[in-house]
Amino acid sequence: MKAIAAAPRAITDYQGRSAEELFKRTAEAKRALGNRVMVLGHNYQRDEVIEHADFRGDSLLLAKLAAQHADRPSIVFCGVHFMAETADILSRSHQTVILPDMAAGCSMADMAAIEQVDECWDELGRILPVEETVLPAVYVNSAAVLKAFCGEHGGITCTSSNARAVIEWAWARCEKILFFPDEHLGRNTANKMGLPREQMIVWDPFKPNGGNSAEAIRKARLILWKGHCSVHQMFQPAHVDYFRKQHPDIKVIVHPECHEDVVNKADAVGSTEFIIRTVSAAPAGTAWAVGTELNLVNRLKKEQPDKHVYFLSSTVCQCATMFRIDASHLCWAMENLADGHVVNHIVVPDDDKRWAKIALDRMMAIS
């Protein structure tokens, strides 16, 4: 067995190295680790990272893989912080989850803080019997403590691929849903389910009662947190119009984090995995305008050369935080692991973990 190196290697030693060197060294560390590691890569990751992934997928698929592979003591998660936290919650206690760059967060996840959600719950409680009438449903794009809040209050988590099933589950148990932090995923899903507009309200955490009258709150069946994805909000209805004009036969496919005005004009809407599957399964020669993150679209273009794949926006829509994970951070995390050092260990506190797992397990049971 290899001796453990005295001190972890420094990330600064990896900056400015050539792509070839980083690729070789990462592959070598992975070979040395063998079945002791599983590398997971979200669909938005760069090619230089994805090429080392054992599995790639959307947030639901990656969460399932983390839960299933108890045989891998380490999980190197190439994605963003909330995804790595979810992997830590769903994996076993003997497993360690590593996020190659701790700065890989999610701007949407930062739009709901536990203090704001507690405050919202208290305000709702002054207007109605909140525990009996409101069920909290949190998008996985959120901190673990918010998932724990849901677990503790009879609630549930959801992803972009099961939001409808989760909302159905919640309405079967409760009159109202508090859906956070993405108002668009909630609204787009409820629109498809036919919920009348007057039964949806938006909760602005910076206004008293979220900016709503007590009467509007009593009437609402869906309370949508005012939060959004800074990447997906860039797509506009005019982008869809432009492509339809240029290519009359084009199909438009978008992520449900887009604004409803974009989603309503699209031919198909779904998770990153749904988008990849749908375009991949389409007949050769078909044209697709894709409204989601740029790395995914560029890879789809490369991997589906028999189709015409276009990026829906005219301006760059890259997820700046997903982009933080690069070849040097991955190589740094993998070589340290091969040396016996765990860097950037993601650890969800036990109390949050227990309740968050309850909310995640409820989702897994219906996914």
For residues 325 and 345, is the Cβ–Cβ distance under 8 A?
A: no
- Residues 309-328, mask of contacts with ligand SF4 (x by CB under 6 A): ----------x-xx------
d(CA 244, CA 181): 32
Nearer to ligand 13P among residue 124 and residue 294 (C-beta):
294
Q: Is 293 in the site for ligand SF4 (CB under 6 A)?
A: yes
Q: Is 212 in the site for ligand 13P (CB under 6 A)?
A: no
Give Cα separations from 92 to 115, 157, 271 (angstroms). 29, 19, 27
* Residue 77 half-sphere exposure toward CB, CA atoms < 13 A: 31
Q: Is 229 in the site for ligand 13P (CB under 6 A)?
A: yes
d(CA 1, CA 219): 66
Give Cα separations from 47 to 18, 52, 78, 304 (angstroms). 15, 9, 11, 15
Part of the chain binding ligand SF4 (CB under 6 A), chosen from 92-100, 103-111, 295-303, 330-338: 103-111
Strand spans (E) along 81-166? 96-98, 134-139, 156-158
Residue 347 backbone zone (phi > 0: left; psi -120 to 50: alpha; other: beta): beta
Which residues, 243 to 262, sit near ligand 13P by CB under 6 A? 255, 257
For residues 219 and 128, is the Cβ–Cβ distance under 8 A?
A: no
Q: Of 107, 133, 209, 278, which lies in the binding site for ligand SF4, with binding defined by CB under 6 A? A: 107
d(CA 28, CA 47): 18
- Residues 212-251, mask of contacts with ligand SF4 (x by CB under 6 A): -----------------xxx--------------------
Q: How far is the CB of 180 from ligand SF4 (least distance, A)?
A: 13
Nearer to ligand SF4 among residue 95 and residue 321 (C-beta):
321
DSSP letters for 299-329: HHHHH-TTSEEEES-SS----TTGGG--HHH
Give a three-class secondary structure readout of 192-231: HCCCCHHHEEEECCCCHHHHCCHHHHHHCCEEEECCCCCC
Nearer to ligand SF4 among residue 76 and residue 229 (C-beta):
229
Which residues, 41 to 80, sit near ligand 13P by CB under 6 A? 43, 58-60
- Residues 131-160, mask of contacts with ligand SF4 (x by CB under 6 A): ----------x-------------------
d(CA 159, CA 221): 20
Count of chain residues binding ligand SF4 (CB under 6 A): 13
Q: Of 67, 80, 135, 223, which lies in the binding site for ligand SF4, with binding defined by CB under 6 A? A: 80
Q: Which of 274, 279, 272, 254 is nearest to 264 (CA)?
A: 254
- Find where tokens 């507009």 sit: 197
230 binds, among ligand SF4, ligand 13P, none (CB under 5 to 8 A by kind): ligand SF4
Give Cα separations from 69 to 63, 100, 180, 335 (angstroms). 10, 20, 29, 22
Which residues, 103 to 142, sit near ligand 13P by CB under 6 A? 141
Which residues, 150 to 209, sit near ligand 13P by CB under 6 A? 159-160
Count of chain residues binding ligand 13P (CB under 6 A): 12
Nearer to ligand SF4 among residue 123 and residue 257 (C-beta):
257
Q: How far is the CB of 292 from ligand SF4 (least distance, A)?
A: 8
Binding residues for ligand 13P, per CB under 6 A? 43, 58-60, 141, 159-160, 229, 255, 257, 271-272
Binding residues for ligand SF4, per CB under 6 A? 80, 106-108, 141, 229-231, 257, 293, 319, 321-322
